[in-house]
Amino acid sequence: MSLTTEQAYSDLLSETREAALLESCGAVLGWDEQTYMPVGGAEHRSNQLALLAGLAHEKATAPRVGELLQHLESTRDVPADSVMSANIREIRRDYNRATRLPKSLVEEMSKTTSLSQQAWVSARKNRDFAQFLPWLEKVTRLKREVAQAIGYGQGVPYDALLDEYEPGMTAADVTTLFEALKADLVPLIAQVRDSGRQPRREILTRRYPIPAQQQFSIAAAEAIGFNFQQGRLDVAHHPFCSGFGPGDCRLTTRYNEQHFPGAFFGTLHEAGHGMYEQGLDPALWGSPVGRACSLAIHESQSRMWENLVGRSQSFWKWLYPKARETFPEALGQTPLDEFYFAINDVQPSFIRVEADEATYNLHILLRFDMERPLISGDLAPADVPGMWNELSHKYLGITPPHDSEGCLQDIHWSAGLVGYFPTYSLGNMVASQLFEAAHRDLGDLSSQFARGEFQPLHQWLTTKVHRLGRKYPALELVERVTGEPLSHRPLIRHLQHKLGALYGI
């Protein structure tokens, strides 16, 4: 007896959920590796992760998945613009991509990146690029193999890797958006530099006891909407968020007693990611519509809560009295206006995750300019430090004093996340465009923030973005929610408005 559409669809979701369960088990082990695992467990952990990656790949590429997809694609019973239709479309996309990758390559990639991340931690600590170079060479070779296996049509190898994070986008698409952003951003940063105004930067490097930072950060994350009954915050060498499934989302941050913004804004950033994960429909977990739309959409959530909310004047009108109470030695005699100017200081810096809203995007342009030749073969891994320093001087006007503040600062390449970096600036654009739409729909958000009211924005994002998962492709989702195609202009308008007032430009 042939399957009905409903039964075939139910069977298909059962297959994808089992693959998702295996992936989530690997995610738990990956989180533990970055937080609590002893260094001596690296080799064994790499074997565990490789095994799980191979099993998940087998499940995701099983012939049965292909048969069910073919059955469903041949029927006329699937309603257009339905969750079922979207899931079938996205599972087909994932299946086609996964079946082009040999299981052996998937396992080797998993094992190598697990060990590579441990090597990166040590190399960064020791400021020793030579220690990391053999691993960068291995990861680069494997990512080139991945690109070739997946294919990239008439484009470039980098397209195959970018497509994992931004489905359907190419390096050429990103270049067009980034060139438009750069054309407006660089003159704006120059105006800030030439304004002659500077905040009291030392405000942020006073003594902020770590236990107090922990309590303060958790309270702020909870206030904006992260549910700690379904999540937690821990420490890692590089901040990240892991959503394992319904009811379990893990955030990490890192603390510096002499640098307040690092942990605080890092926690808000990761809480934004976490709120997206917590906002996905739990009934659809294990299916594409129960997953985040794309990395740019994910980054839009973290960057929005970190910057558009967390660095706003209205947010600190609400929170600053509590900050002065928590850090009396550092902030007891400091007026709000001076603190607000300090946290929005625009100044080229070495570390991406500590960069201001404006120059942050220059950090992304630098990495985008490096990743493409790294994958095409025009840039050898051994030449990465030299090119990094050259581009740092080009974009930021500064040269890192050592590689730990240069090419060793990010975990991404050690983890095989090549093609990920562009999503940060794309996320900044999406965040600003969504924020303008939220203002139109919700009214005066600033007044709400000043009263400590964040639920209206949180609920709006849950309804408009989170609950939809991958029902629509990212660019279509942005246009549906905002009424306009993705553009850099809302981000520039936001920066011009904020920086114009602070720097008198």
Tokens linked to 476:
């279509």
Confidence (pTM): 0.95
Question: What pLDDT does 237 receive?
Answer: 87
pLDDT, tens digit, for every residue of 372-423? Answer: 999 999 999 999 999 999 999 999 999 999 999 999 999 999 999 999 999 9
The Cα–Cα gap between 462 and 280 comes to: 8
The Cα–Cα gap between 459 and 438 comes to: 11
Domain positions in the chain: 5-143, 171-503
The DSSP-derived string for 293-332 is S-HHHHHHHHHIIIIIITTSHHHHHHHHHHHHHH-HHHHT
Write down how long the chain is: 505
Question: What pLDDT does 309 receive?
Answer: 98
CA 227-229-234 angle, to 5 degrees, is 80
Strand partners, 252: 234
The Cα–Cα gap between 469 and 243 comes to: 14
CATH topology assigned to domain 171-503: Neurolysin; domain 3 (1.10.1370)
Exposed, middle or buried: residue 195 (CB in 10 Å: 0-12, 13-18, 19+)? middle
Question: What pLDDT does 426 receive?
Answer: 98
Q: Do residues 448 and 397 make contact, with C-beta atoms less than 8 angstroms apart?
A: no
pLDDT, tens digit, for every residue of 414-440? Answer: 999 999 999 999 999 999 999 999 999
Question: What pLDDT does 453 receive?
Answer: 98
The Cα–Cα gap between 473 and 280 comes to: 16
Q: Where are the alpha helices (DSSP H) in 352-454?
A: 360-376, 384-396, 422-442, 445-450
The Cα–Cα gap between 403 and 481 comes to: 41
Question: What pLDDT does 331 receive?
Answer: 98
Show Cβ contacts of residue 68 under 8 Å, excluding neighbours closer than 6 positions. 8, 9, 11, 12, 15
The gap from C-alpha 405 to its chain's centroid, in whole angstroms, comes to 20
Which letter does DSSP use for residue 464 in this model? Answer: H
Catalytic residues: 270
Element (H, E) at 234: strand 231-235
In this prediction, the residues of the chain whose per-residue pLDDT falls under 70 are 1
CA 242-247-249 angle, to 5 degrees, is 15
Tokens linked to 152:
């990239």
